[in-house]
Structure 1
Amino acid sequence: MTDKLTIAMAQINPTVGDIGGNVARILAARDRSVGADLVVYSELVLSGYPPEDLVLKPFFQDRIEAAANQLAAATGDGGAAMLVGAPWRHEGGLYNAVLLLDGGAVAAVRFKRNLPNYSVFDEKRIFDDGPMPGPVNFRDVRIGVPVCEDIWSPEVAECLVENGAEILIVVNGSPFESDKVDVRLQHAVQRVTETGLPLLYVNQVGGQDELVFDGGSFALNANCRLAARQPAFTEDILMTQWRRDGNNGWVCAVTDRAAHPEGLGASYQAMVLGLADYVNKNGFPGVILGLSGGIDSALSAAVAVDALGPDRVRCVMMPSPYTSQDSLDDARECAQLLGVRLDDVRIEPAIDAFNEMLAPMFGDRPPDTTEENIQARSRGVTLMAISNKLGHMVLTTGNKSEMSVGYATLYGDMCGGFSVLKDVYKCDVFKLSHWRNRSLPERGLGPAGRVIPERIITKPPSAELRPDQTDQDSLPPYDELDDILSCLIEDEMGLAAICQRGHDQQTVQRVWRMLDRAEYKRRQA
């Protein structure tokens, strides 16, 4: 009977669709796991997660199967076995599966039972529900291998312990959200408490399109105490030592327990990782963005520099007749603090050309938002032209508050390939800017210390598309707007419940209408 196991937790960063690259990462992690009996990877690591409709293509399924057999063959060297997540065909169905690769073969397969179909998840449409699973037998140890959502309710873990499981090893593709770390840990503790079994939880790390996976994999002993935790937002291999403690079952020896970043620090690191992986996985040489002297573009530039380094970030100041001298000075100071190149491209000739071109059609109609939007779209055309010529991806700089209510110009400041602040409300933009001036994120490539001039943070926000304009001319105060939007979007609250928080009914109804009417902009952008 096996009394000791060395299990390596392989928290790696796969790419959806890059099967060859994912195989290479999996094998590299195995090579680094010297002395391991078993190396555990994250959910669907072979295909990358989430694979979406790509997984429905027969040629992709064929390549997954070939890659799995390649990985299985690698275990024929007598070294570590592997638990690998992969989409898997079986008897006419397609499953979110975990493969035990050992002794040169696919030794066992288990299927995900509970398929999430909410928020960013769409698994019920592309995968079949797996049956209630039994444990796999690995070198005389019965291991239960639930997949991610399977431990968010008690049934799968209960079935596994009833069928003799001795350890629970959970493979996960759990994306970052505020306070998600505590939620994961609570579910894990509940399953450990119910089953009396220790639990090892391996999560994906990295950015994949609009999602960021924060890693933070961990192990809990049967007493619910934390035995191991990997760092967040970075790839990591952690060796864990397990021993059979008589009638008390398996125990994981206490090892590294990395602190997980919280609050603003976690959100900032998520933005950095998300942008870095989007740019690098798509092969862009860098990013280009408009640096206006406002807080949104300043914070976006700071994140870009921390993600890519200053040499891969180009900024452009595009003044119009309404751009203040303060904004010009603030943009230059911000660029200097970040160490990035700042080019100056004046858009007044483009504005004049459009006004002259459209004058016969506009006649004597007075100026309105049309002329304001021409300025924003002139900037969008300028950035896209530079992007086309130099190859850098345009970084969009709008925040969640403004995008939600449509306070943005379609084909203007909404153009670009990626938006760093797409899920950051305006009040949090201010908080994150203060945080970045005080802190350098782990693995950040930018300079330490102040990177955003104080005046950018303290001055009233303005699009500067007409004289003396401020955002509050068109929007409620941001603290009020953000709370209403959070109630509508995240909490899905009704009118009465939102008003009970102290908000004026007319303001709530106005914001609700703006949110709904702006959907067409968000769909196109």
Structure 2
Amino acid sequence: MKIAIAQINPTVGDLTGNAQRILSVAQQAANLGADLLLTPELSLCGYPPRDLLMRPSFIQQMKQQIEALAKALPAGLTALVGLAEDNSAAAAKGEKPIFNSMALLQGGQVAKVFHKRLLPTYDVFDEDRYFESGTEANIFTYETAEESVRIGVTICEDLWNSESFWGRRAYPVDPIQALVGEGVDLVVNLSASPFTCGKQTLRENMIAHAAKQNRCPIVYVNQIGGNDDLIFDGQSVSFNRQGEVVSRAAAFTDDLQLVEFDAIAQDLQPGEIKATLPSADAEIWEALVLGVKDYARKCGFSKAVIGLSGGVDSALVSAIAAAALGPQNVLGILMPSPYSSEHSISDAQQLARSLNITTQTLSIGSLMTSYDAALGEMFTGTESGVTEENLQSRIRGNLLMAVSNKFGHLLLTTGNKSEVAVGYCTLYGDMNGGLAVIADVPKTRVYSLCRWLNRSSEVIPNNIITKPPSAELKPDQTDQDALPDYDTLDDILERLVQKQQSADDIVAAGHSAAVVEKVIGLVTRAEFKRRQSAPVLKVTDRAFGMGWRMPIASRWSLAISKPASETQPALLATDQTLMTSA
């Protein structure tokens, strides 16, 4: 039996386009002699469809589309296609109205429908909001005159509950063990598993463990593409009964692979094994390029505009945009103020030449003077400070939005994760934009990515990488006037945000208590800014996006690390969260 692994890039909600995509790859698979076609989770509607799932018309049109697709498939080809399936018993049983399902298309009809059993509700996942859990082991038999193969069907999370691998179970049932107990010959897993840096290694270790422990081959199919803030990396992979990789698809691109199941040997035969990416920088780069490319394409943008400051963040975002959209489709706007250094202007111009992108210069000195005059009477008797500094950023933000509106360009914001975490960014200024490209990339990783880009030639001018980072909103300003050095800051933020360590734990790791307290305060107060930011492309386990759901109006301090009974009376007094308008 020849199995075609269709690693495709669906667009959420594009039922007709996605069906055509599946039909096209089905024809390719049939031409290669495939017997069974595998597609990713919710491949017909794209993942994640979010609250589109609450619209009955969306579910009904999906049903019509899957029936039409079944009739249109090449003769002799069996396919598994992901969709949301109506739960007809929902009202009577008090259940959710739909299932997350895989339809078995065979002989011109929907022969059977399998339901996902484990519904993740953590980080970016919210499947229990929409779906009812399946309760049965999903099995079908692929039969020909020569062979009969019992195939177990699992959907994404169904694979992620091995007690022997994780040391615990997150759900009462393990669908893989249930299938093995039913005597299946092969397990397939149809997934839409979002990318985070290093996740493929974890996936492969987990799948290898399951295949080897259960002496059962596993074929894993993953979606690729960017859908809003989530990026899907593909890297579909197959393991034989010994837990050895026998096939792997490409990373961050559409792919169609064939892997053969030998019914006599009861195992998968060796196929094409494509290499994984060589480093974390390479992974993150490919993810961000795909994220920008698909966000623009799927939202109807063909060109992007970026504010070029001569700093390392805007340099990296410009390089990503040029790779994603083509340099001819990227416009860089230089907006020097009286505080802008000469090297910042020259560095930005050198970067533009290196990337071959177009630039325009809009000086803001006269606009600053006009703002000062307009506010002069009201601000009489006050000291000049952060408010006046932020006016520069807001002037620039207005200019960039004007260009975006006038020419239909997608404005890309350039703030990194370190800045977004502590609020070292300006609302309605440098936070303006439609997509926050590197807002899940810490500052230290920004530098690492730029050095990686320059590994063969100088893509990012070296002076941009080596000079002290500065917002240049006042004379001789550097970021470290207000923040710890970025090595220190990023380590504290990783422990606080990603690992969710307490203040005591972070101090015990070697950081100054005063610095830790300051950083925690900044992170807490910046929540209202983050809530107003553009969608953040997710590349880490804990991004400031849909998986980060902190309250804005809160008096709980992230610095508190012990239960009230151990530290204070039951009526626990906590510091009031204060907001700034920076």
More divergent stretch after superposition (184-193 vs 485-494): 184-193
**Are 1:146 and 1:156, in contact at CA under 8 Å, matched by a contact in 2?**
yes
Return the alpha-carbon distance in structure 2 between the equivalents of residues 191 and 135 of structure 1. 18
Q: Give yes or no for the alignment of 1:9 onto 2:5.
A: yes
Q: How does 1:227-238 map to 2 (within 5 A)?
A: 227-238=246-257
1:110 pairs with one of 110, 114, 123:
114
CA deviations on 1:343-392 (whole Å, 9 max, x unpaired) are 00011122111111111100132210111110000000000000111000
Residue 423 (structure 1) shift: 0.6
Return the alpha-carbon distance in structure 2 between the equivalents of residues 487 and 412 of structure 1. 29
Three-state SS of the structure 1 residue aligned to 2:154 is coil
Q: Give yes or no for the alignment of 1:462 onto 2:470.
A: yes
Return the alpha-carbon distance in structure 1 between the equivalents of residues 198 and 130 of structure 2. 28
1:243 pairs with one of 262, 271, 275:
262
The equivalent residue for 2:59 is 61
**Are 1:134 and 1:159, in contact at CA under 8 Å, matched by a contact in 2?**
no
The equivalent residue for 1:443 is none
Q: Give yes or no for the alignment of 1:325 onto 2:322.
A: no
CA deviations on 1:246-266 (whole Å, 9 max, x unpaired) are xx52x2221210111131100
The equivalent residue for 2:380 is 363
Residue 489 (structure 1) shift: 0.7
Residue 158 (structure 1) shift: 1.1
Return the alpha-carbon distance in structure 1 between the equivalents of residues 151 and 232 of structure 2. 25
1:259 pairs with one of 275, 280, 283:
275
Three-state SS of the structure 1 residue aligned to 2:102 is strand
**Are 1:135 and 1:164, in contact at CA under 8 Å, matched by a contact in 2?**
no
Residue 193 (structure 1) shift: 2.4
Q: Give yes or no for the alignment of 1:473 onto 2:469.
A: no
CA deviations on 1:376-434 (whole Å, 9 max, x unpaired) are 00000000000111000100000000000000000000010001101100000000000
CA deviations on 1:106-144 (whole Å, 9 max, x unpaired) are 111111111111111111111111113231122232110
2:154 pairs with one of 135, 146, 153:
146
**Are 1:311 and 1:340, in contact at CA under 8 Å, matched by a contact in 2?**
yes
The equivalent residue for 1:38 is 36
Return the alpha-carbon distance in structure 1 between the equivalents of residues 475 and 136 of structure 2. 66
Return the alpha-carbon distance in structure 1 between the equivalents of residues 156 and 199 of structure 2. 13
Q: Give yes or no for the alignment of 1:79 onto 2:83.
A: no
Residue 20 (structure 1) shift: 1.1
Q: Give yes or no for the alignment of 1:101 onto 2:105.
A: yes
1:336 pairs with one of 353, 367, 371:
353
Return the alpha-carbon distance in structure 2 between the equivalents of residues 72 and 506 of structure 1. 64
CA deviations on 1:252-285 (whole Å, 9 max, x unpaired) are 2212101111311001110100010000111112
Three-state SS of the structure 2 residue aligned to 1:492 is coil
**Are 2:354 and 2:459, in contact at CA under 8 Å, matched by a contact in 1?**
yes
Q: How does 1:314-463 map to 2 (within 5 A)?
A: 314-438=331-455, 449-463=457-471
**Are 1:437 and 1:450, in contact at CA under 8 Å, matched by a contact in 2?**
yes
Three-state SS of the structure 2 residue aligned to 1:337 is helix
Paired residue type of 2:60: D
Residue 21 (structure 1) shift: 1.1
Residue 191 (structure 1) shift: 1.7
Return the alpha-carbon distance in structure 1 between the equivalents of residues 228 and 409 of structure 2. 17
Paired residue type of 2:296: V
Return the alpha-carbon distance in structure 2 between the equivalents of residues 509 and 292 of structure 1. 31
**Are 2:79 and 2:104, in contact at CA under 8 Å, matched by a contact in 1?**
yes
**Are 2:98 and 2:131, in contact at CA under 8 Å, matched by a contact in 1?**
yes
Residue 79 (structure 1) shift: 3.1
Residue 461 (structure 1) shift: 0.1
More divergent stretch after superposition (131-140 vs 49-58): 131-140
1:206 pairs with one of 216, 225, 235:
225
Return the alpha-carbon distance in structure 2 between the equivalents of residues 370 and 79 of structure 1. 69
CA deviations on 1:492-516 (whole Å, 9 max, x unpaired) are 0011111111001111111011001
**Are 1:134 and 1:163, in contact at CA under 8 Å, matched by a contact in 2?**
no
Return the alpha-carbon distance in structure 2 between the equivalents of residues 157 and 347 of structure 1. 62
Paired residue type of 2:68: Q
Identical columns (%): 44
Return the alpha-carbon distance in structure 2 between the equivalents of residues 297 and 232 of structure 1. 26
**Are 2:105 and 2:111, in contact at CA under 8 Å, matched by a contact in 1?**
yes
1:488 pairs with one of 489, 492, 496:
496
Return the alpha-carbon distance in structure 2 between the equivalents of residues 498 and 136 of structure 1. 51
CA deviations on 1:166-221 (whole Å, 9 max, x unpaired) are 10010001111111011111221222123211000000001111111000001100
Three-state SS of the structure 2 residue aligned to 1:455 is helix
Three-state SS of the structure 2 residue aligned to 1:524 is coil
Paired residue type of 2:256: I
Three-state SS of the structure 2 residue aligned to 1:228 is strand
Gaps of 5+ in 2: 91-96, 163-173, 534-582
The equivalent residue for 2:212 is 193
Paired residue type of 2:127: E
User: How does the TM-score come out when normalised to structure 1?
Assistant: 0.95
Moved over 4 A (4+): none
Three-state SS of the structure 1 residue aligned to 2:84 is strand
Three-state SS of the structure 2 residue aligned to 1:238 is strand
Return the alpha-carbon distance in structure 1 between the equivalents of residues 359 and 135 of structure 2. 58
Q: How does 1:236-315 map to 2 (within 5 A)?
A: 236-245=255-264, 248-249=265-266, 251-261=267-277, 262-315=279-332
Paired residue type of 2:274: A
Return the alpha-carbon distance in structure 2 between the equivalents of residues 324 and 362 of structure 1. 28
Q: How many pairs are equivalent?
A: 508
Q: Give yes or no for the alignment of 1:507 onto 2:515.
A: yes
User: How does the TM-score come out when normalised to structure 2?
Assistant: 0.86
**Are 2:309 and 2:345, in contact at CA under 8 Å, matched by a contact in 1?**
yes
Return the alpha-carbon distance in structure 2 between the equivalents of residues 303 and 69 of structure 1. 40
CA deviations on 1:66-111 (whole Å, 9 max, x unpaired) are 1111111123x52311111111113233111011101011111111
